Structure 1
Amino acid sequence: MNIQWYPGHMSKTKKLIMENLKLVDIIIELVDARIPYSSKNPNIDELSKHKPRIIVMNKSDLADENVTSKWVDWFKNQGYGVVVINSITGKGISTVYDLAKKMLKEKIEKDKKRGRIFRPIRAMVVGIPNVGKSTFINKLVGKASAKTGDRPGITKGKQWIKIKKDFELLDTPGILWPKFEDVNVGIKLAFTGAIKQEILDIQTLSLKLLDFLSKNFPNNIKNRYKITDISFKTSTELLKEIGLKRGFLISGGEVDYDRTSQILLDELRSGKLGNITFEIPEDIEEKNE
């Protein structure tokens, strides 16, 4: 299952980021705490031009807390500032401002010596589609300044947003990269809702998800769908049983696999399947060796 999605507006967003980098002091990149590595855009590394970077791990309420702690250490070892947040509740968001000031302390002091006392910190907010950038900004500013939604592609253009008198954000549309070299990256992005639903084969995707869950989080399937034993069941058999348990049937008593697949993906993305992280730092280190 090779998923690729890079519509024309993302190429425009890349140009927009390049054109506006000179205007900002620091880059804030939101990643999905369930897939911290796969949701981190490698293009941003190339575009950042050595500017300070904060990695904001959003949707932490949906991820495995212990694995999230490992990712915090991993990113810090790579030289990033790191904040773990839940943009819906606002947990952790206030620390982003404090960390930005701390990381830019030397620059702020230099500006003061030059007489630029009232110059605000300017940060660019970047991230993949549907990672929660707009919700994060709205919670940070305390009002609905950015458009939000539960599907990728809500933010269409750049917009400057004043957070405090000394802190401004440049919001940008969600951006992926032209080609996922690792097919598993595309699959993980599709699991979590970063890929436009219309291009996906949701039955194949749901079978991939069940394959992962049965190996790594079997109890989550058992508890959610009241299935007693999954040890020797294939992903297709599990999907069928979930459909039967939910009563998702079509004419002739056959399981409605499309509806069952959609419900499975929806329940993953809403957290009803429990706290799940799809990758750990150790796997990335092993792959990169």
Structure 2
Amino acid sequence: MSTSPESQALREHLVAMAGRFAANPDMGLEAMREMFDTLQHLQAEPTHVTYDEVTAGDRPALWARPLTASPDHVVLYTHAGGYIAHDMNTSRKLAGHLAKAAGANALIPDYRLAPEHPFPAAIEDAVSAYRHLLNAGYAPRHIAFAGESAGGNLAAATILRARELGLPLPAAYVGFSPWFDLLGELPSFDSGTDAFLVRPVSQLMAGMYLGEQDVQQPLANPRLADLNGFPPSYVTAGADESLVDAVTDFSDRAQAAQVDVTIEVAPGMQHAFQWMAGRAPEADQNITRVGDWLRIHLAS
């Protein structure tokens, strides 16, 4: 199966990022954040979607509002960035594309970043955003959690923390290449086909996020959690990315816990290939499928 020129452009962009990192492995945090932020420019602006800034809990947040969205249906979308980079704006276009496909609005919380605010600050902020939705009258059965990369990890961890706190769980979970192997412990990290997320990069970000915390605890790595009662889930991975084994393992564990899971491993695709939303056919086709799936689960 051939890869579209647009998805190939994502790979080339990630190769360039890897080159910058290899040339300057001791780059400072601000330089690393600037490099990560270049990914936002790969996404195309979704049509017929508006945005407005609000406060959700005690943090800034951004609403992505498709003009055709059901007012009662919400995707709580947590952005990528290894917990150390990005903000609510960097994934707003991707969240907008997903929201439009799902016929829902999307709330993107601007959660605090490590290393200034390490684990579990991001989870606390995402839970606060969820409480904000519940307090505003949104029904849990009409709320889905979603995110890409670290945001996919965070969305799952937020569900687990909500369960610990006795909060009602959302209707569905979507993880685009969720970061479920922080230290690169599974074999797909040795495949050599991931253009950027190699083991040293993953370990560096994990160290800044977790510090001395145990990487195996479920809120840090939801793949290792008790998944009984976890909501219906749709997880994706690129076949060429380092996290494909972790995503497959999460799916297997969830199915063993009787969770309704859909998994999609996209041939020839890189990590979080949905970053090419609005440009690459592979990204758009996947987002359409996930959106259709979300429509079903948010309408029940």
Measured against the shorter chain, the TM-score band is: 0.3 to 0.5
Greater strand share, structure number: 2
Structure with greater proportional helix content:
1
TM-score, normalised relative to structure 1: 0.32
Return the index of the structure with the highest Cα Rg: 1
